[in-house]
Chain A
Amino acid sequence: MAPKIKYTKLFIDNKWVDAASGKTFDTYNPHDGSVIAQVAEGDKADINLAVQAAKRAFHRNSEWRLMDAAQRRTLLHKFGDLIERDLEYLAELESYNNGMVLNDARRFLNTAVESTRYLASLADKIQGDTIPLSGEVFSYTLKQPVGVCGLILPWNVPILMFISKVVTALAAGCTVIVKPAEQTPLTALVLAALLQEAGVPAGVVNVVNGFGVGAGTTLTHHPDVAKISFTGSLEVGKLIQQAAGANNLKRVTLELGGKSPLIIMNDADLNVAIPTAAFGVFLHQGQICIAASRLYVQSGIYDKFVQGAVKFVKERIVGNPTDSSTQQGPQIDGEMMNKVLGYIEKGKKEGAKLLTGGNRIGTTGFYIEPTVFADVTDDMTIAKEEIFGPVQSIIKFETLEEVIDRANNTNYGLSAGIFTSDLNNALQFSKHVEAGTVWVNTYFVFSSQAPFGGFKDSGLGRENGPNCVDAYLEVKTVTIALPKKF
């Protein structure tokens, strides 16, 4: 009952083509590790072709550049409608190639449709300013698309990341080359087909699957690419920032990792805090950049919270992603699974108290038990490094002032949260914590209206929110001599 895989080639200039080398690579189902398709493997030659197409499609006299902003908006809305039409198929394919629980995939797809509609609506709201410049002049700004953009996607939420980057870039009037993660090459190809169906002119959207070293590095070093947007690890993010100064000067947006602190104050409502904290670190098997991976619980309710957290997690159902009762599926692949298990071992070795989970489940696929450590301290590896797996680390604290400093004592800064009923606690914490998104009495609430991105090493720039197209635009000031008197 597996979803049919319709597209496995590269999508360049609105055509399905083999890789120049003829090579393909396997892609898998994380539920059992089986190979589900062979996908065209793009490399330098293919990226060069794609960039050439995108550059041609960006020329000032191209069909795409001659469209009104409103026409772009309409086209992108149509794309949103097509995603909605094919939502079930896309969710099944995402789950099949990613291991995402099918119910979660459907939720993410609904978010993707909403997101497409929001971002599409920004296309004809791009405004410059008329400026009261001193002198005998008339001055104004134009905001113009930056050019050819390389969009490099992560494997954890492939469809949502495709939408977030591609629709923003297109709303701004840019042309794009998408390099999906090598673990999850399939859904991007289906979305490209839908964009073509929506009427996107040839060369505006190109999808080249392949590996980081090869397709990815060619893209991040290509002298005709004006901008890179990347979501993934900090390690690779730094390489991309370095590459942005290697040939031409590239504009860079980065959405990287996190080690997000979630604070539970003594006056928190534990009936909400416990499930939300669990959701915050176990959703999608912990494979989310904003996972609430450091759980600071105030001493007054510490024992009660730990007890409740363990009980909650023990009831979590791990199983086949397509099962409607499943709450947790497999990790993406063997490498990540082993990495997570390695962190669990470190946690035990460094003296954290393992209260539930800690082991691999079964011998096929990449399943790990939801795991809870308590009495974790800030210097432990599991409290400092991003695990990207279903591991909750509970840490005790005394005062708000202390926990703000401990929460900020990291190079990351993607998100943070606090549970409290006290007004001052809520406002002080949200003001002082160094994180791009702060949740109060909730976690993971996401929607396109709100800017998203990292402080410090968690990233550069913001996606979503009404100004998100700015990262894909250049500001031009025009100043025309105009005498004050006729």
Chain B
Amino acid sequence: MALEIKYTKLFIDNQWVDSASGKTFETYNPHDGSVIANVAEGDKTDIDLAVRAARRAFHRNSEWRLFDAAQRRNLLNKFADLIERDTAYLAKLETYNNGMLLASSKYFIASCVDNVRYLASLADKVQGNTIPLSGEVFSYTLKQPVGVCGLILPWNGPVMMFLWKVTTALAAGCTVVVKPAEQTPLTALYLASLLAEAGVPPGVVNVVNGFGETAGAALTHHPDVNKISFTGSLEVGKLIQKAAGTNNLKRVTLELGGKSPLVIMNDADLNAAVPYAANGVFGHQGQICVAASRLYVQSGVYDEFVKRAVEYAKNIKIGPPNDASTQHGPQIDETMMTKILGYIEKGKQQGAKLLAGGKRFGNNGFYVEPTVFADVTDEMIIAREEIFGPVQSILKFETLEEVIDRANDTEYGLSAGIFTSNLNTALQFSKHAEAGTVWVNNYLTFGPQAPFGGFKNSGIHRENGSDCLDPYLEVKTVTIALPKKVPRA
């Protein structure tokens, strides 16, 4: 039941082109590791061409810059309609190349359509201020697009990340060069074709597939790129910060990793907490930056919670992502699978109690069993480093004050959660947890209305929310001499 793959070339200046070198690279289906396509491999030369096209399309007299903001809004709304039209195909393609459960990709793409519409609607709400500046002046601010933006995508949510970054940048009036993750190059190309169909002028959107050290580095070091937005690992995020001060000065948005604490108080509703906690770390095989990877359970309910969590994990159905009854699919590739199995070994070695899973599943593809460790302590590696796999680590705590400090004792700060029925507990925890998103009696609730991003090493700036265009804009203050009294003729 192989899916037709329509686009495999680079998309530059609204044209499908081979890479300058003629090289291609393979891309896979994580369910069985098979090669599903050969995709054009972009490098520095291709990035240079793409940036040149984006720069030309950004000139003040270009078709794109002469659009009204409302026209940008309409174009992006049309883009949303096209995504909605092709949801079935896109979901299948995402699953095929990423291993995401088909039910999940359908759900994500539907939520993305809503997200695109929200972001589109921000295009003509970009407002400056008139300012009561002291002196004989009239002063106001303009918010103007920052320029050519390099958007570097992760492999875990390819469609969603393309849409978040590209739509935001376009709503702001910028032009973009997209570098998808090398593991998942396909859906970005399809979305580019939909943008062309929606009427985006040549050069406004370019997609160059390739590898981090070549295409990615060329983009993050390019002197004609004004801004980089990157979602991925902390390690690479730091390299991008450094690159931003290497040639020209780049504006940088980073969405990086996490080691998010989820706290279960004695007064939690366990009927809700157990499934939310499981979904929070096993959802998408644990390959999400906000995974609830440190599960702090208060001592009063610890044994009961562990029992239920283990039972829940053991009942999760592993199978092919296309199967409607499957609840757990493969990891993205062998590298990640091996890394996760390595962390599981470390957990065992360091004395964590393995209560469920712990092994690779099958011999084809990259499946890992949903795994539960209990009696984990804060200094263990599995409690400190981001695993990015289906490994739940349960830790015991006594008091709220204590668990707030333990939750914050990390360089990360992406998200956190708490289950409690007590008002003070809920408000204190959400106030003091050092995390960009805090969930109370739920987990993973997202929506375009809510800003998303990290404290500390989990990232810089926010995506979504009503201010999300700001990182793609420059503020200009205009001050015009204007006498307070009308001068006599």
Residues of A within 8 A of B (CB): 60, 114, 129, 131-135, 137, 139, 141-142, 226, 234, 237-246, 248-251, 254, 256, 411, 426, 430-432, 435-442, 445, 447, 449-453, 455-457, 459-460, 462, 465-466, 474-481
Contact = CB atoms under 8 A, between A and B. Distances in A.
A372 to B, nearest CB: 24
Interface in B420-449: 426, 430-432, 435-442, 445, 447, 449
Contact of B475 (A234, A432, A445, A462): A462
Interface stretch (B312-320, B336-344, B458-466): B458-466
B249 interface: yes
Interface stretch (B231-239, B321-329, B377-385): B231-239
Contacts of B238: 245-246, 249
Contacts of B442: 137, 479-481
A287 to B, nearest CB: 22
B139 A242 contact: no
Given A141-B465, A455-B474, A476-B437, 4 more contacts: A432-B60, A447-B135, A450-B141, A456-B248
Interface string B473-489: 01111111100000000
20 contacts: A114-B134, A133-B450, A141-B450, A226-B456, A241-B242, A245-B239, A245-B244, A248-B456, A249-B241, A251-B460, A430-B478, A438-B476, A439-B480, A442-B137, A442-B479, A445-B135, A450-B133, A455-B474, A475-B436, A475-B462
B456 A249 contact: yes
A345 B37 CA distance: 62
B432 A60 contact: yes
A413 to B, nearest CB: 8
B60 to A, nearest CB: 5
Contacts of A60: 432
A426 B482 CA distance: 13
A98 B135 CA distance: 27
Given A241-B244, A477-B436, A451 B141 contact: yes
Contacts of B60: 432
Nearest to B474: A455
Contacts of B465: 129, 131, 141, 475, 477
Contact of B451 (A241, A445, A460, A477): A477
A226 to B, nearest CB: 7
A481 B441 contact: yes
B242 A447 contact: no
B133 A441 contact: no
B124 to A, nearest CB: 17
B27 interface: no
Given A133-B445, A142-B431, A438-B477, A449 B256 contact: no
B447 A135 contact: yes
Contacts of A435: 476
Interface in B201-260: 226, 234, 237-242, 244-246, 248-249, 251, 254, 256
A437 B131 CA distance: 13
Q: Is the interface of B mostly helix, strand, loop or mixed?
A: mixed
Nearest to A60: B432
A237 B440 contact: no
A484 B254 CA distance: 35
B142 interface: yes
A449 B245 contact: no
A465 to B, nearest CB: 7
Nearest to A459: B249
Report the 8 A-B pairs with minimum CB-CB distance, sorted nearest first: A245-B241, A241-B245, A481-B441, A441-B481, A245-B238, A480-B440, A242-B245, A442-B481
Given A133-B449, A432-B60, A437 B239 contact: no
A244 B426 CA distance: 34
Contact of B438 (A137, A248, A474, A476): A476
Q: Give the residue among A226, A437, A457, A479 with the most B Cβ atoms within 10 A.
A: A479
Contacts of B437: 476-479
A126 to B, nearest CB: 14
Contact size class for B? Answer: 35 or more
Contacts of A234: 249
Contacts of A237: 245, 249
Contacts of A142: 430-431
Nearest to B430: A478
Contacts of A135: 445, 447
Nearest to A146: B455
B447 A249 contact: no
Interface string B117-147: 0000000000001011111010101100000
Contacts of A477: 436-438, 450-452, 465
Interface in B127-182: 129, 131-135, 137, 139, 141-142
Contact of A449 (B139, B240, B244): B139
A251 B453 CA distance: 13
A450 B445 contact: no
A447 B447 contact: no
Given A141-B465, A481-B440, A451 B241 contact: no
B267 interface: no
A465 B140 CA distance: 11
Contacts of B14: none
A441 B435 CA distance: 47
B250 to A, nearest CB: 8
Nearest to B457: A249
B134 A141 contact: no
Given A135-B447, A451-B475, A457 B249 contact: yes
Nearest to B141: A451
Contacts of A139: 447, 449-450
Contacts of A240: 245
A479 B450 contact: yes
Contact of A238 (B129, B245, B475, B478): B245
Q: Give the residue among B137, B466, B478 with the most A Cβ atoms within 10 A.
A: B478
B144 to A, nearest CB: 8
Given A131-B449, A249-B234, A440-B480, A242 B466 contact: no
Contacts of B272: 481
B68 interface: no
Q: Give the residue among B142, B242, B476 with the most A Cβ atoms within 10 A.
A: B476
Contacts of A248: 411, 456-457
A241 B459 contact: no
B141 A131 contact: no
A245 B237 contact: yes
A456 B440 contact: no
Given A245-B240, A480-B440, A254 B249 contact: yes
A453 B436 CA distance: 26
Nearest to B428: A60
Nearest to B249: A457
A245 B135 CA distance: 41
Contacts of A447: 133-135
A45 to B, nearest CB: 24
Contacts of B245: 237-244
A442 B60 CA distance: 25
A410 to B, nearest CB: 11
B132 to A, nearest CB: 6
B256 A249 contact: yes
A450 B453 CA distance: 28
Q: Give the residue among A132, A432, A450 with the most B Cβ atoms within 10 A.
A: A450
Contacts of B432: 60
Contact of B248 (A114, A411, A437): A411
A460 B244 CA distance: 11
Q: Give the residue among B241, B248, B249, B435 with the most A Cβ atoms within 10 A.
A: B249
A445 B479 contact: yes
Nearest to B139: A450
Contacts of A445: 133, 135, 137, 139, 479, 481
A60 B455 CA distance: 16
B154 to A, nearest CB: 17
Contacts of A452: 477
A234 B242 CA distance: 15
Contacts of B241: 241-242, 244-245, 249-250
